[in-house]
Amino acid sequence: MHKNLIITFTRNPELGKVKSRLAKGIGEASALEVYKLLLEHTKNVLLKLDCDKAVYYSVKVRENDIWNPKFFSKHQQFGDDLGERMYNAFDNGFKKGYEKIIIVGSDLYDLNAETITKAFKKLDQNDNVIGPAEDGGYYLLGMKTLHPSVFKIENWGTETVYKQTILKLNDNSVYVLNKLNDIDYVEDLVPYTVFKPYLNNY
């Protein structure tokens, strides 16, 4: 067992169940294909890391999918909102004895192994590390000890999530990573060549 753990949250890739805001612009079938590409990208990034890896499923754990159990421990998310589900995932990790835990989203084509490795290193000198997203949320959160208040956010999915989180961390040292763009709307696909086939109708 490593002392560091990386967690990602994922939705099961099913038609009409993922990327609803994106689907409004490019259709449900294309949104599903984009989400599958994002999951594949996230998996490949995490496989480069020298730490333990966990994937938390939104609905139910899948056995035969892209997340190879040789490399990823598989878990079910539980909790009434995103904050509770993240808290429970962190809590589970710390109870298992991990010293540093980082969670990342699974919908960032800009995410890379170097950013996550840097985040783990910054936890040597800081209590927390966070990666702000362009939309006002965050794509990465890392801790050495559990801070329950951080997960009590009003209105998850709004542009104030990052600001609320920073305010709740004001008594702790926080390292802020570069801002990255997660994929939520059709406009978010435009800068990336890999998504061009899904922009034909845009």
In tens, the pLDDT along 14-35 reads 888 899 999 999 999 999 999 9
Residue 200 has pLDDT above 90, yes or no: no
pLDDT-derived band at 194 (thresholds 50, 70, 90) equals very high
pLDDT of residue 156: 77
pTM here is 0.94
- Residue 154 pLDDT more than 90? no
Residue 157 has pLDDT above 80, yes or no: no
Q: What is the DSSP string of 19-68?
A: -HHHHHHH-HHHHHHHHHHHHHHHHHHHHTSSSEEEEEESS---SSSSS-
10 Å CB burial of residue 46 (0-12, 13-18, 19+) is: buried
Residue 153's pLDDT band (boundaries 50, 70, 90)?
Answer: confident
Fold of 4-190: Spore Coat Polysaccharide Biosynthesis Protein SpsA; Chain A (3.90.550)
Instruction: State the average pLDDT for the chain.
Output: 93
Domain ranges of the chain: 4-190
